[in-house]
Amino acid sequence: MHLFLTSSPCTEPLPDSSLPFRFTEANGFLARLKQYAIPDRPLVMLASSPRNHDLNDAFLHEFHACCLFHQLCSAQCVMVDDRNAEDFRQLVENAGLIILSGGHVPTQQAFFATLKDSGNILRTCRAPLLGISAGSMNAAKTVYAQPEEPGEAIDPLYRRFLPGLGLTTLNILPHLQEVRHRNLDGLRLFEDITFPDSMGRTFYAYPDGSYIEVNDCEAIARGEMHRIRNGIMQQILEDGASMVLEEA
């Protein structure tokens, strides 16, 4: 298994390009992904909202165009959602690149839970796995679903810890440049919610362009990285640098 846990791998397209975006080269991301993608096989994306077909089709179209531009996949592509979930195993086993889409963490986690043996199947696929935001978060064995939507931070029924795919033990917090000082439901997202939730746990928070690369034996952080542990947030890595993490 080769897994990329990104916040967002996307950056601005080249001038005069018809692409909606391209993959970033920051911290060696695109070069690393190209080492593992199988370009003569299809792109397969796993939805975050399985019933939102229009949005899923739009995401698939945009990411397929990007992947074709970078020569990461074949001319074939498919989005796994509630229209074809019964074909999940066959589709991912034939993939050249598998993307775990971004979106709402609990919604995607609930969908992944309906895909029988999804974690074990993904772990044995030849294609690399590219997690984007929520997809990266749901790759964990125990997912930390940081509250995101209004009402979630104060809802006593909202579950912040959920069973995930089990592809890694790492909990990540994406889009740090956007959410670090966000307030939600009258609370500070980090100081009042996430820091207390980190007691006895470790979270890795990072901005777009940074990522963690996980294989079967180790995890390597690449780019700006902050560790939150026992209520304390500490920057452990500068942009452009890399380090092996304690967990994988």
Model pLDDT for residues 19-76, shown as the tens digit of each residue:
999 999 999 999 999 999 999 999 999 999 999 999 999 999 999 999 999 999 999 9
Predicted confidence at residue 208, as pLDDT, reads 98
Predicted confidence at residue 126, as pLDDT, reads 96
Residues 6+ apart with CB under 8 A from 100: 45, 46, 108, 129, 130, 131, 132, 134, 135, 136, 138, 139
**For the chain, how are helix, strand and coil distributed in percent, rounded to 5?**
30, 25, 45
Distance between CA atoms of residues 36 and 128, nearest Å: 6
Model pLDDT for residues 150-180, shown as the tens digit of each residue:
999 999 999 999 999 999 999 999 999 999 9
Residues 6+ apart with CB under 8 A from 54: none
Model pLDDT for residues 133-142, shown as the tens digit of each residue:
999 999 999 9
Res 216 pLDDT > 90:
no
Distance between CA atoms of residues 107 and 112, nearest Å: 9
Q: pLDDT-derived band of residue 207, with 50, 70 and 90 as boundaries? A: very high
> Which architecture characterizes domain 3-11+27-244 according to CATH?
3-Layer(aba) Sandwich (3.40)
Name the token pair of 195.
């820091």
For residue 123, the surrounding DSSP H or E stretch is helix 118-123
Q: pLDDT-derived band of residue 118, with 50, 70 and 90 as boundaries? A: very high
- Structural contact between residues 106 and 72, judged by C-beta atoms closer than 8 angstroms: no
Name the token pair of 47.
């939805």
Distance between CA atoms of residues 233 and 226, nearest Å: 7
Residue at token pair 């560790």? 227
- Look up residue 115 and give its amino acid: L
Cβ-in-10-Å burial (0-12, 13-18, 19+) of 56 comes to buried
What are the residue ranges spanned by the domains of the chain? 3-11+27-244
- Structural contact between residues 30 and 23, judged by C-beta atoms closer than 8 angstroms: yes
Predicted model pTM = 0.96
Q: pLDDT-derived band of residue 17, with 50, 70 and 90 as boundaries? A: confident
Predicted confidence at residue 142, as pLDDT, reads 98
